[in-house]
């Protein structure tokens, strides 16, 4: 373990941000990383618990967190970097984006503040890139097996990298113009600058992964063609069917899905679009985001940077408590009030609010008609009840629907392949193999909308299942250190 009883000596130190007034003027990342000495002190706080819940119950990737903390504390950064890559292909992405389920499960968080695990992860990998310890690892031997990965989000990229390193020929097909899935087109630059994705893709290309962008599989090329050319395919197409709000007035042209709005901004920022017709901007507008989650919060941060006059975020659930409630005890992810950096930049948040209908003028929405609601428990279920006399109106120039995603888009390729779906409408899979044995699936396509860490892990596990199926040698999961 690191430093005995260091958790009694050192307090957790949060990562500072560029001031809100400064950062809303650009789309760049805003974390101000800690110094290496401070990171070592933070790593020293790890108690090296007998049962590390951070690793076992928290992290979807099962990162070996206490070992990483010890290596950082002992200034053995290169070993830490190699060790981290044993479980996580893209720690530079989880180190920026993960909600840090590990920290909620850290034993210190029972009665103190948890170890700063996510930032330590970020520091290890950025150290690795700066020192050029993270290099391409092409496989020494080729198996001659060919695999097509459909979709280049974190699940597809992780699966492709694992399979290429195991010696297979891998081609990634992506319908968008550029690679990365939600990382590229959903998540704003201020949370993840896109050069971070490009840096990894360069490594993967040097490892032999072939990328084909602008190819919608199922439309531009058929499933039959893929079956002829490849030994198997892995579907990592995400879960992109958005949940809609079927209330009167939904049809106004300035009521948009959150992902369409965020994608337009990300493309604009990447200069893939010119600032002409079709670009959605919130400049000088009142923006109302319906949906209180992270996607909604990303819309708030984006609207603020575009120069919105005012932003609201509406949530139908009641305001969560400030401290861990009994229904999500340690080491579970607690249902508590969270304030994101985008909220800090300025936003009015309303809870327990239902939108009953929209009204407007000609084609454009002008008002939301809302009311307060309460939630009543009926056995195992909850029922929503409108509170009489609480109706109110919010004026809006743009309404963004950030109500989550239902399941994989199951027209097109999924239908063409005739795959069985689960009750939620995702691709049904057993050990990542779908109802068609040559078709594997991973990431949000199987789990429904989830997190980047879960998608990477799913891609890795699917790669192990594919490798085992192709080579029939009963391999353990593939693990290759950087």
Ligand X SMILES: Cc1cc2nc3c(=O)[nH]c(=O)nc-3n(C[C@H](O)[C@H](O)[C@H](O)COP(=O)(O)OP(=O)(O)OC[C@H]3O[C@@H](n4cnc5c(N)ncnc54)[C@H](O)[C@@H]3O)c2cc1C
Distance CA 59, CA 53 (A): 9
| Three-class secondary structure of residue 212 per DSSP | strand
- Residue 175 binds ligand X (CB under 6 A): yes
Site string for ligand SF4, 4-43 (x = CB under 6 A): ----------------------------------------
Q: Count residues contacting ligand X (CB under 6 A)? A: 42
CB 265 within 8 A of CB 472: no
Could you tell me the two tokens for 367?
């008002």
- Residue 443 binds ligand X (CB under 6 A): yes
What is the residue-wise DSSP string for 325-357?
-TTS-TTSPP------HHHHTS-EEE-SEEEEE
Distance CA 45, CA 201 (A): 34
Distance CA 459, CA 270 (A): 27
Site string for ligand SF4, 426-465 (x = CB under 6 A): ---------------------------x------------
32 forms bridges with which residues in the sheet? 16
- Residue 461 binds ligand X (CB under 6 A): no
- Residue 444 binds ligand X (CB under 6 A): yes
- Residue 97 binds ligand X (CB under 6 A): yes
Site string for ligand X, 409-438 (x = CB under 6 A): ---xx-------------------------
Q: Which of residues 249-278 bind ligand X (CB under 6 A)?
A: 259, 262
For residue 195, give every residue at least 6 positions away whose Cβ sits within 8 Å of its Cβ, in sequence order, or none: none
How many beta carbons lie within 10 A of that of residue 94, not counting itself?
Answer: 29
Distance CA 254, CA 264 (A): 14
- Residue 102 binds ligand SF4 (CB under 6 A): yes
Q: If we measure between CA atoms, which residue out of 172, 53, 93 comes closest to residue 452?
A: 93
User: Considering CB distances under 5 to 8 angstroms, the limit depending on partner class, which of ligand X, ligand SF4, none binds residue 254?
Assistant: none
Q: Which of residues 212-231 bind ligand X (CB under 6 A)?
A: 216-218
CB 286 within 8 A of CB 308: yes
CB 232 within 8 A of CB 193: no
| Residue closer to ligand X (CB basis): 204 or 259 | 259
Phi then psi for 461, rounded to 5 degrees?
-70, -35
Q: How far is the CB of 440 from ligand SF4 (least distance, A)?
A: 23
- Residue 98 binds ligand SF4 (CB under 6 A): yes
Among 121, 169, 298, 397, binds ligand SF4 (CB under 6 A): 121
Q: Contact region for ligand SF4 (CB under 6 A) — 98-106, 217-225, 247-255, 362-370?
A: 98-106
Could you tell me the two tokens for 113?
């503040």
Distance CA 52, CA 397 (A): 49
| Residue closer to ligand SF4 (CB basis): 121 or 126 | 121
- Residue 451 binds ligand X (CB under 6 A): yes
Could you tell me the two tokens for 75?
């200034």
Phi then psi for 144, rounded to 5 degrees?
80, 0
- Residue 61 binds ligand SF4 (CB under 6 A): yes
* Interface ranges with ligand X (CB under 6 A): 97-98, 150-156, 173-176, 181-183, 186-187, 191, 216-218, 236-238, 240, 259, 262, 294-295, 298, 412-413, 443-445, 449-453, 455
| Interface residues toward ligand SF4, by CB under 6 A | 58-59, 61, 63, 65, 94, 98, 100-102, 117-118, 121, 453
């Amino acid at each position: 373990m690191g430093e005995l009883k260091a958790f009694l000596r050192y307090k957790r130190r949060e990562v500072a941000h560029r001031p809100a007034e400064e950062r809303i003027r650009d789309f760049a990342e805003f974390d101000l990383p800690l110094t290496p000495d401070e990171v070592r002190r933070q790593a020293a706080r790890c108690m090296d618990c007998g049962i590390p819940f951070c690793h076992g119950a928290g992290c979807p990737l099962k990162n070996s967190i206490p070992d990483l903390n010890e290596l950082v504390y002992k200034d053995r950064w290169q070993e830490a970097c190699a060790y981290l890559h044993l479980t996580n292909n893209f720690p530079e992405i989880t180190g920026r984006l993960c909600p840090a389920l590990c920290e909620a499960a850290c034993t210190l968080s029972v009665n103190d503040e948890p170890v700063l695990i996510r930032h330590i992860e970020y520091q290890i990998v950025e150290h690795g890139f700066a020192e050029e310890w993270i290099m391409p690892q092409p496989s020494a031997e080729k198996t001659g097996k060919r695999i097509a990965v459909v979709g280049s989000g974190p699940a597809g990229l992780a699966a492709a990298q694992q399979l290429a390193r195991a010696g297979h020929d891998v081609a990634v097909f992506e319908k968008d113009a550029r690679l990365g899935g939600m990382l590229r087109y959903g998540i704003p630059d201020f949370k993840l600058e896109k050069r971070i994705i490009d840096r990894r893709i360069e490594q993967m290309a040097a490892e032999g992964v072939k990328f084909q962008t602008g190819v919608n599989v199922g439309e531009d090329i058929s499933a039959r063609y893929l079956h002829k050319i490849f030994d198997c395919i892995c579907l990592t197409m995400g879960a992109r069917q958005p949940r809609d709000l079927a209330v009167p007035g939904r049809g106004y042209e300035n009521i948009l899905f959150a992902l369409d709005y965020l994608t337009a901004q990300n493309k604009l920022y990447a200069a893939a679009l010119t600032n002409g017709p079709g670009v959605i901007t919130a400049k000088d507008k009142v923006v109302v985001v319906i949906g209180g989650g992270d996607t909604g919060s990303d819309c708030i941060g984006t609207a603020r940077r575009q120069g919105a006059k005012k932003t609201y975020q509406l949530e139908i659930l009641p305001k969560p408590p400030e401290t861990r409630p009994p229904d999500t005890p340690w080491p579970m992810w607690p249902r508590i009030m969270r304030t994101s950096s985008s909220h800090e930049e300025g936003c009015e948040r309303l809870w327990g609010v239902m939108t009953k209908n929209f009204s407007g003028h000609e084609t454009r929405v002008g008002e939301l008609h809302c009311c307060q609601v309460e939630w009543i428990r009926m056995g195992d279920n909850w029922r929503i009840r409108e509170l009489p006399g609480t109706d109110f109106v919010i004026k809006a120039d743009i309404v963004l629907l950030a109500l989550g995603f239902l399941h994989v888009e199951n027209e097109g390729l999924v239908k063409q392949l005739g795959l069985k779906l689960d009750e939620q409408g995702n691709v049904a899979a057993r050990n990542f193999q779908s109802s068609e044995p040559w078709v594997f699936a991973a990431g949000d396509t199987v789990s429904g909308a989830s997190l980047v860490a879960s998608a990477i892990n799913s891609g890795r596990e699917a790669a192990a299942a594919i490798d085992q199926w192709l080579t029939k040698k009963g391999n353990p999961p593939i693990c290759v250190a950087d």
